[in-house]
Amino acid sequence: MESFSPEKILEIIRNYISRITGIEQHLIGLEQRFDEDLGLDKITFNEMADFLEDEFTSMNLGFRIDKVERQDIELVSDLVDIITSKIATNEKA
């Protein structure tokens, strides 16, 4: 099973955000807020979270980001941390 570093996860997130917002990937930083800095409303954020769940499931690293977790995510780094943790948990199982 391929291992995913936080940097690789960030790259996947940046790619998605760039495609839907037009913001260049190198301008998307860890400390940016999804709503205020990147312009993602709750619906768009949830669509992105669903996409990421599907994307990682297709790589045999399936996980779910539940409703409560989604509400606590404000920064790009928050999402990277949650995904990193879930993948690490799956790899140990």
CATH number for the domain that contains residue 87: 1.10.1200.10
Task: Please state the pTM of the whole predicted model.
Answer: 0.91
Judge whether 1 lies within some domain. Answer: no
Contact between 13 and 52 (Cβ < 8 Å): yes
Q: Using CA atoms, how far apart are residues 21 and 89, in angstroms rounded to an integer?
A: 31
Give the model confidence (pLDDT) of 35-89 as tens digits: 999 999 999 999 999 999 999 888 888 889 999 999 999 999 999 999 999 988 8
Residue 67: other Cβ atoms inside 10 A: 9
Residue 48 sits in which domain range? Answer: 6-92
How many structural domains comprise the chain?
A: 1
Judge whether 62 lies within some domain. Answer: yes
pLDDT at 61: 82
At 38, give phi and psi (nearest 5°).
-110, -10
Judge whether 46 lies within some domain. Answer: yes
Q: Using CA atoms, how far apart are residues 52 and 79, in angstroms rounded to an integer?
A: 10
Judge whether 52 lies within some domain. Answer: yes
Grouping H, G, I as helix, E, B as strand and the rest as coil, residue 60 is coil
Judge whether 82 lies within some domain. Answer: yes
